[in-house]
Amino acid sequence: MHFHVITIFPEFFTSPLSVSLLKKAQDKGVIAWTIHNLRDYTVGKHRSTDDTPYGGGWGMVMKPEPVVKALEEVGRAQPSPWRILLSPQGVPLTQAKVAELAGKETLTFICGRYEGLDERIRLFIDEEISIGDYILSGGEIAALVVIDAVARLVPGVVGRQESTVHESFSDGLLEYPQYTRPEEFRGMRVPEVLVSGNHAEIARWRRRQSLLRTRKRRPDLLARATLSEEEKQWLAQTSNED
């Protein structure tokens, strides 16, 4: 999986991409990235990437020529690089969207700044993604969010691939509570079932905790999840003491 990022702040990506999981994945050769400095695609001696908005108003708007030129060059080097514009007006990022993106070979991210981008740039991209209903000062953090979430699903990035299968959202539910040593901490014991060694019981307990937790914290998710008849009945009889 190759990530291309088009930004006016290439240095933004240095530290997040050089530690932990993303670093290891790059060392193993399972993911790679190229950070493109938008200023390298500007024309004229001022190398400007932005200009004042037509019609007047506050702030600056990113010019179309450098962004489109950068997209075209990335496209030449890498056939069919799926082009994503980070934007608060895009489709909200979900785990399902992340899984869909993880199936592609190349992703190209365009990071906006200032008041946004010239509207005509939208004709040169494949999709717009938002990471939530709030405004960031630039698309860089949003691009990193998408890269991190997508990279975890690329085979070979997370140690054991199964560990991404049972996570929150992957089956439409939140994950069950997790515990590690010590068995007793400040008077609180780890639930008995987890130290029982009975794997079937543990799996059942986890699934039920997952259901309770989702009902309590995210009823919107539970309404869309697929539950067995037995699970529906069990939930109806159980109060939320999660």
Q: Which residues bind ligand SAH (CB under 6 A)?
A: 86-89, 111-113, 115-117, 130-132, 134-136, 138-139, 142
CB 49 → ligand SAH: shortest distance, Å?
12
Strand 61-62, strand 106-110: pairing: unpaired
Q: 185-197 burial by CB neighbour count: b if 16+ within 10 A, else e?
A: eeeeeeeeebeee
CB 58 → ligand SAH: shortest distance, Å?
10
Dist CA 161 CA 169 (whole Å): 16
**174 DSSP assignment:** P
Residue 122's CB: how many other CB atoms inside 10 A? 13
Tokens describing residue 6: 């088009």
Place of tokens 């989702």: 214
**242 DSSP assignment:** -
Residue 151 · residue 22 · CB < 8 Å: yes
Dist CA 188 CA 202 (whole Å): 19
Dist CA 125 CA 145 (whole Å): 19
Strand 32-37, strand 50-51: pairing: unpaired
> Which amino acid belongs to residue 4?
H
Give me the helices (H) in the chain, please.
Answer: 20-28, 64-77, 95-102, 139-151, 199-217, 219-224, 229-237
Nearest residue (CB) to ligand SAH, 34 versus 130: 130
CB 100 → ligand SAH: shortest distance, Å?
17
Nearest residue (CB) to ligand SAH, 10 versus 177: 10
Nearest residue (CB) to ligand SAH, 81 versus 88: 88
Nearest residue (CB) to ligand SAH, 11 versus 201: 11
Nearest residue (CB) to ligand SAH, 66 versus 172: 66
CB 133 → ligand SAH: shortest distance, Å?
7
CB 138 → ligand SAH: shortest distance, Å?
5
Nearest residue (CB) to ligand SAH, 59 versus 156: 59
CB 65 → ligand SAH: shortest distance, Å?
17
Nearest residue (CB) to ligand SAH, 30 versus 60: 60
CB 212 → ligand SAH: shortest distance, Å?
31
